[in-house]
Amino acid sequence: MKKKIALGVAGALALIVIVLMLLPGPSRKGLPEQAYIFHNANVITVDAKNPRAEAVAVAGGKIVFVGSSKDALALALPGAKKIDLKGKTVIPGFNDNHAHTLAAGNFYLQPLLWGKTCEEIAAVVKAEAAKKKPGELVLGNSWDYDKCPKPDKALLDAAAPDNPVFLMQYSGHAAWANSKKLKDLGIDRNTPDPKGGQIVRNEKGEPTGVLRDEAMGSSAYGDFLKALLSDERHRAIIDKALQLYRENGITSVQDNTWEPFTNRLLYRYDFAGTLTTRFDCWAQGDSVLHTLFNWFAKFDDPWVTRGPVKYFSDGAFSTRTGWLTAPYADEPGNYGSPRYTPEELTKIIMDAAATKTRLAFHAIGDRAITEVLNAIEKAQEKYPWTKDLRMRIEHVQIMKPADIERMKRLGVVACVQPFAACNPEKDVKLLGQARARTAYPYKSMLAAGVPVAIGSDAPAEVDFQPLLNIYYAVTRKTKDGAVGPLNAAECLTPEEALYCYTMGSAYAQFMENEKGSLTKGKLADLVVLSKDLTRVAPNEIKGIEVLATVTGGRIVYDKGALQ
């Protein structure tokens, strides 16, 4: 059965390659070069040399002026449209440091299981199965253990006896399947755990239906492959993601693209003039997709750029697969699941350093972070230029204090997602009270001089909205504000969080001289907000509205503020 699945995936990938080879090259369509003067505004520039202003002028896709309204209106800018913002706040466009765009678009086209009990999830599955023919796959996403602590295949078997069911857990590092789907995957009580994965079993040794990390096999990619082979569906998914990005002020995304088909679609959108968010497209290391990406991906700086190569060193907190130095508080003896041995990590990073290849390492737990830093340190000893590559560690959810200083010394960028800190009670359950207080050390890293960038990990954390994300970075409380913070000393100020979301993320992708602040000569990417996030109470930040988004000097979203 596993061979059939592997052959099916390989066949689909081969078909994608053929399609890519046959696609005609795009021809760029000229866009009207409308100039704008946004004046009478409260401009937060995120530029230390000129932190506040009243006006911003843009032309030809670049910022041509930042300063007073009087001087802006006196500019000799032929044909410029003057827009009075009536005191509204303007900031640089948000640059999401870590997203999965294809998954995010697909996410909002599937049943959302977040916050539902096991029984409620079964009811959703039953309703979805009723819409499908026998044998058709039922999909869903974002269930979690808080509300559904004991997911079991028996519940899904009863809800959908004639259909395979595959439900992604919210972190993306686990799935819940029914018996039909387990059979499709070739998994039974005799199937060993794969390297870097776990088949969760009951006390009798029977699979419960929960699969963690590599145990999910190729099934997690199956739905995406179908999307890639359907141009209509592929475009619908990307269009949905682009809509959400521009409505929330996201002008740049550093994307776990991994396969060349989505990259090529974004490239075609760029040349057609319909791409409304800039993309830094990443390859996935240790995968056949990496080779395909290198062969067929296309780029057009500064709209579609080549990003780092992504590797996983461990799993996630919620699935208890993040690699820890001490065991999980609620699962004694479980230290998580490393994807590679320390020796394998060293080889991967040594090989990358030798060829001056940038890497982004997913590392949740403190042991994973330590081992990645150990490997980077060894590479830097042999290849001194490794520091200049700005190697990245993604997520950085808990780490040893000594490793913070090492990150600074090695020039490693911490790419964090404050959405992960939205549930303090869960962190206490997983890590224990004392250890949970040390998680998400954002302030400590900034204070030590570690470069910090902020993003969402959409759709892994369910929410993705930048202003809600900043609320979590500033308060470290639950969304309703009822619980937290566990450690107020690690809360960022609104100014720090905004910097990390703009200049910090630009630095992470080597583009701090092109974007990240409202500075003359930089790309004209900006957002209009209903309020100043630095001058409201922290609990109000999440309620601030995005009124307009401008990317490359084009108004790509307007809620009426620019009329």
**Ranges of residues in the chain whose predicted pLDDT is under 50:** 1-8, 21-22
Tokens matching residue 476: 């470290």
Where do the H-state alpha helices sit in 411-528?
424-431, 433-436, 442-448, 466-475, 494-499, 505-508
Residue 61's nearest CA partner among 104, 31, 96, 87 is 31
- In order of 57, 98, 132, 143, 405, the CA distances from 460 in angstroms are 37, 10, 26, 11, 29
- What is the structure's pLDDT at 271? 95
Domains 31-93+517-563 and 102-224 share a fold: no
- In order of 120, 199, 331, the CA distances from 430 in angstroms are 24, 20, 8
Residue type, 293: F
Fold of 313-515: TIM Barrel (3.20.20)
CB hemisphere CA count around 524 (13 angstroms): 24
- What is the structure's pLDDT at 417? 98
Cβ-based neighbour number of residue 78 at 10 Å: 7
Q: Is the dihedral of CA 232, 238, 243, 244 positive or negative?
A: positive
Terminal CA-to-CA distance of the chain, rounded, Å? 59
The torsion angles phi and psi of 452, rounded to 5 degrees, stand at -120, 130
- What is the structure's pLDDT at 221? 55
Fold of 31-93+517-563: Urease, subunit C; domain 1 (2.30.40)
Length of the chain: 563
Q: Is the dihedral of CA 324, 328, 333, 338 positive or negative?
A: negative
Q: Where along the chain do its domains lie?
A: 31-93+517-563, 102-224, 313-515
Predicted TM-score of the model (pTM): 0.86
Rounded Cα distance, 81 and 219, in Å? 51
Rounded Cα distance, 415 and 306, in Å? 17
Tell me, rounded to whole angstroms, the distance of Cα 69 from its chain centroid: 37
- What is the structure's pLDDT at 111? 83
Fold of 102-224: Diaminopimelate Epimerase; Chain A, domain 1 (3.10.310)
Calculate the average pLDDT of the chain.
92
The torsion angles phi and psi of 464, rounded to 5 degrees, stand at -145, -5
What 3-state DSSP class applies to 398? Answer: coil
Please state whether the peptide bond connecting residue 485 to the residue before it is cis, i.e. omega within 30 degrees of 0. yes
Rounded Cα distance, 365 and 312, in Å? 12
Where do the H-state alpha helices sit in 316-441?
342-354, 366-382, 401-410, 424-431, 433-436
Q: Sheet containing 250-258: give its strands across.
A: 94-99, 250-258, 278-284, 304-312, 359-363, 392-395, 413-416, 452-454
Q: Where are the beta strands (DSSP E) in 115-267?
A: 138-143, 165-169, 174-177, 197-201, 207-213, 250-258
